[in-house]
Structure 1
Amino acid sequence: MAIKVLVVDDSSFFRRRVSEIINEDPDLEVIGTANNGKEAVEQTALLKPDVITMDIEMPVLDGISAVKLIMQATPTPILMFSSLTHAGASATLDALDAGALDFLPKKFEDIARDKEEATRLLQQKVKEIGRRRISRYVRPAPASTLMSSTSARASNLRQPDRSFAPSRASENKSTDTDIRASGKKYQLVAIGTSTGGPVALQNILTQLPQNFPHPILLIQHMPAAFTPAFASRLNSLCKIEVKEAQNGDLLRPGVAYLAPGGKQMLVEGRGSGQKLRIYEDDNARVTYKPSVDITFASAAKSFGNSVLAIVLTGMGADGREGARMLKQAGSKIWAQDEKSCVVYGMPQAVANAGLSEASIALADVASRINREVGCG
């Protein structure tokens, strides 16, 4: 059965373009369109789509407000379309806070080398989030944790539960929150993620204490226009410092360094005084910029067996080979469990390769990190 899609945009041209791309895939079917947020809420309740593609700036009711109302009344996986500007980045992050699962730039050429690649990416993202079913709501999340100042006006709305219907593969995962720390000594924590990552990272980092004993590397697949806004948002919400990484940054305990979008982040040096190298990557064979594999591999060379690396929700297999190098050096690898992932791609690749020592629910990741490094 085809995944049913509702396309929402105030531009008739864009609605038609997106609908044509989606309908080209036999596994997808556009069952309706809407030209503003109010119509989107009404059409969602009427048509019960499996996925919604949603614009942000629309008349009558904007996309962010529509996401909040949909997630409150008829929880549905939502893919946002955004402009690659600072304002567009902030609005998209607000939409993710409200419950949207992923986003794409409205100008497809900004994310793809050609029309065919852009078409495949849109179809793939719709199918990936369409395979998940949002199951229920939980109690409201604290505004200071899940809402930025720009979206605090809606803090009276309940936040969506990003747990999804379990599958057979997730039934055997360990969720024992009483697991003791291994006693291993660390010098670095590294976290890689993609689809669903902004919310997952926010969930984890806001629970780390100010005196966190190690530097943290964050590799999130994200456009260059988004990473400054995302780092700023995290920094405003977290007890630790969060910054967009810059070339030459010295690694300091209690600081999280977010890899800049469109570039690669390497760790250089051994012993004390390791620093970051940020560089433009013109290698056409490298799909992801930033790449989890590249950063993890450099961490293996600089830190050897003293890294705690975690692979979170995301499409594809980025992180698997870097995790393999870390594992071979003696470091520890964890993966997010299937049930709590938006897309169980990257963690599954690591788990299936036998590299992860634990599959952990998102709600437990922060407490497990704190316990493992000796601050919880």
Structure 2
Amino acid sequence: MTDNVIKVLIVDDSGFMRMVLKDIIEKQPDMKIVGIAKTGLEGVEKAIELKPNVITMDVEMPELNGLEAVKLIMKKSPTPIIMVSSLTSKDSEITLEALENGAVDFIQKPAGSVSFTFRSIADELLEKIRNAAKIDPKNLIRKALPVKKPKISAALRGQKIVLIASSTGGPRSLDTIIPNLPKGINVPVVVVQHMPPGFTKSLANRLDKISELTVKEAEDNEELKPDTVYIAPGSFHLGLKANGNKVYTYLDSSDKINNVRPAADFTFDKAAEIYKSNIVAAVLTGMGKDGAKGAFKIKHYGGKIIAESKDTCVVYGMPKAVVEEGYADFVLPNYEIAEKIVELL
């Protein structure tokens, strides 16, 4: 086997799913299946023994579920893991927790159980495997972070906005930043995380439970309120429009930008037109360059840009693009970003 062949371990309790995944992956000249496991526990054992480059991990399994398996693999043999999730709310919640604990990405099982429905997303699965194989396993290990919870020293003007863009590895960085934004910042926060429908709602619900600010999935035509975090819903760009001295959201289903929807560039662009210099934006971990064009526009109007440093990124792609273009005012690990946001407000 040559060094550039991606070694894949399949972990799934469904014989049908194992067959479909095996069929898709085996046809690729740059991939090889090195093992198949039927339970989470067997998956952990084979991950340690076989040292695959990438693991596909079912969510619901006997002995250990996907989340428990992810936690053990990250402790014993850190490996890029792609969760294979159904559309149920329970699966989406477990998947999000797995992403916060080291899994790098996920793919949705299509509705229905015939094999051609899963083969319809074969290209997406293969792209995610190839992307995951590029991730340094050392970046998956979650260390104890010296997070400083900022204090609000004076009444803020309340006319600013905070924008955050994130993709691969984003849930973990958001989990570090959003809960550490204190109540009383007196501004809205808008988050664009690349995720499909259902998962953005679960992400909002999870963050809301552990944050001082209210966190919700954004809806169409709702007024932005201070001390509220709005998560762009999957499959829609999130735009902002001004009406008098109020700002409202709107959902847009136009073409993907940077091959994603929601796209941070869309939201950053619309926000810059309204808030001008009164923007603090953070571009977090993720593949690609989404957020870079939007950061340019924010900089043009005098807003401030924070890029997550390579130290805490799972994938140093989106922030790297912002840094290399010279748009970043600050380059910080995720555990220092909440404090810097409050300082800049």
With over 3 angstroms needed to count, the CA separation of the structure-2 counterparts of 1:264 and 1:36, relative to structure 1, is same
With over 3 angstroms needed to count, the CA separation of the structure-2 counterparts of 1:258 and 1:209, relative to structure 1, is same
Distance 1:336 1:162 in 2: 16
With over 3 angstroms needed to count, the CA separation of the structure-2 counterparts of 1:325 and 1:116, relative to structure 1, is farther
1:118-142 deviation per Cα after TM superposition (whole angstroms, max 9, x unaligned) = 33432232232322333399xxxxx
Q: Helix, strand or coil: the match of 1:64?
A: helix
With over 3 angstroms needed to count, the CA separation of the structure-2 counterparts of 1:365 and 1:257, relative to structure 1, is same
Aligned partners of 1:51 and 1:130 also within 8 Å: yes
The residue number in structure 2 matching 1:355 is 327
The residue number in structure 1 matching 2:135 is 132
Are 1:263 and 2:266 matched, yes or no? no
Distance 1:330 1:324 in 2: 10
Are 1:16 and 2:19 matched, yes or no? yes
Q: Helix, strand or coil: the match of 1:209?
A: coil
Are 1:203 and 2:176 matched, yes or no? yes
Distance 1:358 1:77 in 2: 28
2:259 counterpart (287, 290, 297): 287
Deviation at 1:218, TM superposition (A): 0.6
The residue number in structure 2 matching 1:79 is 82
Distance 1:285 1:134 in 2: 29
1:216 counterpart (176, 181, 189): 189
Q: Helix, strand or coil: the match of 1:54?
A: strand
Distance 1:119 1:347 in 2: 28
The residue number in structure 2 matching 1:104 is 107
1:272-311 deviation per Cα after TM superposition (whole angstroms, max 9, x unaligned) = 31111124x1436773221111111100111111111111
With over 3 angstroms needed to count, the CA separation of the structure-2 counterparts of 1:102 and 1:15, relative to structure 1, is same
Distance 1:162 1:29 in 2: 31
Q: Which amino acid aligns with 1:161?
A: R
The residue number in structure 2 matching 1:319 is 291
1:61-103 deviation per Cα after TM superposition (whole angstroms, max 9, x unaligned) = 2212211222222222211010122122112122223332221
Distance 1:351 1:123 in 2: 29
Distance 1:162 1:298 in 2: 36
Counting matched residue pairs gives 327
Distance 1:345 1:136 in 2: 13
Give the RMSD, CA atoms, in angstroms.
2.7
Aligned partners of 1:270 and 1:302 also within 8 Å: no
Q: Which amino acid aligns with 2:298?
A: L
Distance 1:89 1:277 in 2: 25
Q: Helix, strand or coil: the match of 2:121?
A: helix
1:152-187 deviation per Cα after TM superposition (whole angstroms, max 9, x unaligned) = xxxxxxxx4179xxxxxxxxxxxxx9xxxxxx9870
The residue number in structure 2 matching 1:94 is 97
Deviation at 1:319, TM superposition (A): 1.4
1:51 counterpart (50, 54, 61): 54
Aligned partners of 1:311 and 1:336 also within 8 Å: yes
1:293-337 deviation per Cα after TM superposition (whole angstroms, max 9, x unaligned) = 111110011111111111111122221222222122221222112
Q: Which amino acid aligns with 2:263?
A: S
With over 3 angstroms needed to count, the CA separation of the structure-2 counterparts of 1:352 and 1:271, relative to structure 1, is farther
Aligned partners of 2:139 and 2:314 also within 8 Å: no
Distance 2:304 2:28 in 1: 40
Distance 1:292 1:108 in 2: 28
Distance 1:216 1:132 in 2: 29
Are 1:248 and 2:221 matched, yes or no? yes
Q: Which amino acid aligns with 1:207?
A: N
Distance 2:300 2:250 in 1: 23
Q: Helix, strand or coil: the match of 2:296?
A: helix
The residue number in structure 1 matching 2:153 is none
Distance 2:294 2:76 in 1: 41
The residue number in structure 1 matching 2:142 is 161
Aligned partners of 1:268 and 1:274 also within 8 Å: yes
The residue number in structure 2 matching 1:189 is 162
Distance 2:143 2:309 in 1: 13
Q: Which amino acid aligns with 2:317?
A: G
Deviation at 1:266, TM superposition (A): 0.9
The residue number in structure 1 matching 2:342 is 370
Distance 2:139 2:177 in 1: 21
Q: Percent identity?
A: 38
Distance 1:115 1:315 in 2: 24
Distance 1:266 1:99 in 2: 31
Q: Helix, strand or coil: the match of 1:46?
A: helix
Distance 1:75 1:99 in 2: 8
Aligned partners of 1:270 and 1:303 also within 8 Å: no
Q: Helix, strand or coil: the match of 1:91?
A: helix
* Greater mean alpha carbon deviation, residues 320-329 or residues 190-199: 320-329
Aligned partners of 2:139 and 2:312 also within 8 Å: no
The residue number in structure 2 matching 1:332 is 304
> TM-score when scaled to structure 1?
0.79
> TM-score when scaled to structure 2?
0.86
The residue number in structure 2 matching 1:230 is 203
Aligned partners of 2:60 and 2:91 also within 8 Å: no
Deviation at 1:116, TM superposition (A): 8.8
